[in-house]
A and B are shown apart, each in its own frame.
Chain A
Amino acid sequence: MEKLNLSPGKKRVLKFSTFLVILVISLSPAISFLSASYFIKERKVSKLLISYPEVFNNISSPNLKNLDIQVESLLSSLKNRETQLRMANNEIKKYIIEAYKSTYFLRYFFSYVSNSENSYFLTNTIYDGERFYLDFYEYGVETRISTSTIYKDLARFYSDVLVSLLEERNFLGNIKYFHYVWEGKK
């Protein structure tokens, strides 16, 4: 059949109202997507709140609008509490360690010598609140005092630790005496 062009050169047009309808239709997927995303957001937040009772029990209302602010303020107050507790515990630790240090060298000496086969004679002990000084003799075929071990153990609590063997002499037969001095500072 022959094609007829009844209006040659005439432009195809849309009425403005039709154009508006098409425009609204083309915007509708985005609007639906936005409402779906809000719905997803709400559901996810609810799920999160259920799985984190620590948060849920400490906020006034699970409102999406100010949830962020509420969680921030909760975090900040918890951090403050954590810092306070840490500081309080550190204070107690410091006090206990200070107290422990005032007799640790003596405890350590007695525990060390009580586990040794050799005999010991303690001649002098001085502790003035800052420094300690221990002077003693050890009797045996060979010394049981491991200078490096003692140094390491005492250095955990004291500074300027000195473990010195002042004298070593034959005493009776093959038995020797070893004159030791332990020193340290709090």
Chain B
Amino acid sequence: MILIPRKAGVLISLLALILSLALSFVYFSKETYVYLSKLEQKFSQVRQIYRNISQLEQEGKQLEKIRASVYAIQGAYAKDGIEPERLKERLEEFLSGKILLTDYIIITSSVSEPIHFKKVPITYTLIIRGTE
């Protein structure tokens, strides 16, 4: 029959109690508490990215609408000259509302001096070429 001194037995059992409790607490804090905080952090990241994606999708839809309003014209030419009122009308037609995509614009008046109050008929040359 194996016999163990009582004092040593009690001491070993006490040590085992304290050590196992300490280790289980460490395990709890590391494996449960830290794990849960990290997991919650990741979940919250997922939520944040979900929201970002939703915002980006909304933004994308609005941008698509704006892109649809961008238009290009083959070309608008008034080389022979048009009156200032007609020029204003044509430019309003091109510039109001939709976005005109162009890579070439020339608007030149027939007179390049300050002619206010002079009865000089002014005509404009207008050339607009759209992006192909």
* Residues on A facing B (Cβ under 8 Å): 11-16, 18-19, 22-23, 25-27, 29-31, 33-34, 37-38, 40-41, 44-45, 48, 52, 54-55, 58, 67-68, 71-72, 74-75, 78-79, 81-82, 85-86, 88-89, 92-93, 95-96, 98-100, 102-103, 106-107, 110, 119, 121-129, 132, 135, 137, 139, 169, 171-172, 177, 179
B residues with a Cβ closer than 8 A to A are 1-7, 9-10, 12-14, 16-17, 20-21, 23-25, 27-28, 31-32, 35-36, 39-40, 42-47, 49-50, 52-53, 56-57, 59-60, 63-64, 66-67, 70, 91-92, 94-95, 99-109, 111-112, 114-117, 122, 131
Knowing A99-B70, A102-B101, A127-B104, say if A85 contacts B60 (CB, 8 Å).
Answer: yes
13 A-B pairs (CB sep. < 8 Å): A13-B6, A19-B9, A26-B20, A27-B16, A38-B32, A48-B43, A71-B42, A72-B42, A89-B60, A121-B114, A122-B109, A123-B112, A128-B104
Majority-rule SS of A interface residues: helix
Which one of B16, B45, B63 contacts A92 once the chains associate, using CB atoms below 8 Å? B63
User: Provided the pairs A71-B43, A106-B91 are in contact, do residues A41 and B105 lie with their beta carbons within 8 angstroms?
Assistant: no
Nearest residue (CB) in A for B29 is A37
Bound form: Cα–Cα A177–B117 in Å: 12
Would B24 and A44 count as touching, CB distance under 8 A? no
- In the complex, which residue of chain B has the Cβ closest to the Cβ of A21? B13
- Measured between alpha carbons, how far is A58 from B43 in the docked complex, in Å? 11
From A11, A16, A89, A128, contact of B1 by CB (8 A): A16
A33 touches B47 (CB 8 A): no
A126 touches B39 (CB 8 A): no
**Contacts of B7 on A, CB cut-off 8 Å?**
12
Evaluate contact between A37 and B27: CB separation under 8 angstroms. yes
Q: Say yes or no: B60 contacts A99, CB within 8 Å.
A: no
Whether the Cβ atoms of A123 and B109 lie closer than 8 Å is yes
A30's contact among B12, B23, B32, by CB below 8 Å, is which?
B23
Establish whether residues B17 and A26, one from each chain, have CB atoms under 8 Å apart when the complex forms.
yes
Which residue of chain B is the closest to A130 with respect to CB atoms? B103
Q: How far is the CB of B107 from chain A (nearest CB, A)?
A: 4
In the bound complex, how far is the Cα of B58 from the Cα of A126, in angstroms? 37
For residue A30, which residues in chain B have a CB less than 8 angstroms away from its CB? 17, 20-21, 23-24
Q: Once bound together, how far apart are the Cα atoms of A75 and B67, in whole Å?
A: 31
B69 to chain A, nearest CB (A): 9
Q: Is the CB of A81 within 8 A of B104?
A: no
Contacting residues, chain A, for B115 (C-beta < 8 A): 121
Bound Cα distance A25, B16 (Å) = 10
Interface centre among A15, A16, A25, A92 (most CB of B within 10 A): A92
Query: How many angstroms from the CA of A10 to the CA of B38 in the assembled complex?
Result: 58
